[in-house]
Amino acid sequence: MARGNGGVRRSQGVPNLFIVLALVAALAGLVIYVATSSNTTAGAPATAATSAAKPALGPLGDLARRTPGDPLAAGRTDAPVTMVIFSDYRCPFCAKFSRDTEPTLRTKYVDTGKLRMEWRDFPIFGDQSVQAAVAARAAGRQGKFWEFNRALYAAAPDKGHPDLPPDRLLAFAREAGVPDLARFEQDTKSPALLQEVRNDLNEGSSLGVTSTPAFSVNGHPMLGAQPVELFEQRIEQSLAGLS
C-alpha cells in the first residue's frame, strides 16, 4: 500500500470514480474562483450567472441514510447538509481529521443544525482495522460510539498505523465510558456488526473510494485530511445551493 498526499491509498483494481469526481469538482471550483477573482480585481459586479444558486447535490448524489437514533451519526436527521465520512481507525490522516478538523465542524455546523455527519467504516489496513471498526460499533450499542472513536484517534501516532489488539480496544472502551465492558467484549464478536462493517466497505468500494479519509458533502467528493477552511467552503456552498 502506498501513502498518498492527504490520504492513504489502497492498491486494488476498483475504478476510482470517487477520485475522478473529486478532481472534476476541484477543477470546477478553481474555474469559479479564477472567474470571481478576475471580476473583483476589475471592479465589476458579479453577473447573474456567477451568483446563481448551485444544485444542492453533487455528482455522487444523496448518500445519507438519516436513520433516527443512528449511533454512528451526529446532527439532526433533517440537517440541510450531510457529510458522509469513509474512514479507517488505523489511518493517521483519519486521526488528524478527528483531532484537528472535526471539532470545529461540529461546533460551527453540527451543533447549529446545519450539518449531519454520518460515519462509514472503510477498513483497509488489515484485520486490526476491521476489529477496531467492530469494536466502535460495539461501543455504539451502548451509546458511546463517538466517545470511543475520539479516544482511539486521540491516541493515534502522527505517522504509521497503530497496533490495536483486543486488550487495547477494551482500554479505549473503558476510557470512553462504555458502561458494560463484558457486553462490549461479547459484542466485538458479533457477526451482525462485522457484516455492517463489510456493508460500509462495499458501499465505499462501489463508489470508487480507495483511500482514507474520504468524504461526500451533499454528494460532493472530498479526499484527505484537508484544511478545515476547505470543508467550511464546501459546506457553505452546499448551504447556498439550497436557497
Output the nine-digit C-alpha cell for 136. Answer: 466502535
* Residue 20 confidence (pLDDT): 62
pLDDT 10s digits, 76-126: 999 999 999 999 999 999 999 999 999 999 999 999 999 999 999 999 999
> Can you list the residues of the chain whose pLDDT is less than 70?
1-17, 19-56, 243
* Residue 39 confidence (pLDDT): 39
* Residue 16 confidence (pLDDT): 63
Rounded to two decimals, what is the model's pTM?
0.81
* Residue 201 confidence (pLDDT): 98
Give the phi and the psi of residue 12 in degrees, each rounded to 5: -160, 170
| Angular region, 160: left φ>0, alpha ψ -120 to 50, beta rest | left
Residue ranges of domains in the chain? 15-240
Q: 15-240: which CATH topology?
A: Glutaredoxin (3.40.30)
